[in-house]
Amino acid sequence: LAKTTQPISMDSYEGQEVNITCSHNNIATNDYITWYQQFPSQGPRFIIQGYKTKVTNEVASLFIPADRKSSTLSLPRVSLSDTAVYYCLVYNQGGKLIFGQGTELSVKP
């Protein structure tokens, strides 16, 4: 099971771009990289998933270098409502999700 490492917390201001990097040195060939967002007293919400290179959707972008040992979640122009905990997970089809502590992002006005 690939272990992930991400910063415990990050601070940002409204309108800034936020990049959260996750390390997963032991990622397996068939593992995918997935990010979830969790607000207080709510369940996590799927944000984005990728295997290699770059993935973009209406919420975020995910950058994955060629060696896939890390990934970066990019949130463009954050607002106060983006204040949440962000989890980086690495797993494959049939594999178990392992949630670490996540990164607590605080967006200030």
Residues that bind another protein (CB under 8 A): 32, 34, 36, 41-46, 49, 87, 91-102
**Residue whose CB is less far from another protein, 30 or 77:** 30
Q: How far is the CB of 87 from another protein (least distance, A)?
A: 7
Total residues belonging to the chain:
109
- Please give the structure tokens belonging to residue 49: 């998933």
What contacts 41, CB < 8 A, 6 or more positions away? none
**Residue whose CB is less far from another protein, 13 or 99:** 99
**Residue whose CB is less far from another protein, 16 or 49:** 49
Which residue, chain included where needed, has tokens 């270098």?
A: 65
Give CA–CA dist 10/42, Å, rounded. Answer: 20
Q: How far is the CB of 40 from another protein (least distance, A)?
A: 10
Q: How far is the CB of 8 from another protein (least distance, A)?
A: 9
Q: How far is the CB of 95 from another protein (least distance, A)?
A: 4
What contacts 86, CB < 8 A, 6 or more positions away? 6, 20, 35, 36, 37, 38, 47, 73, 102, 103, 105
**Residue whose CB is less far from another protein, 70 or 86:** 86
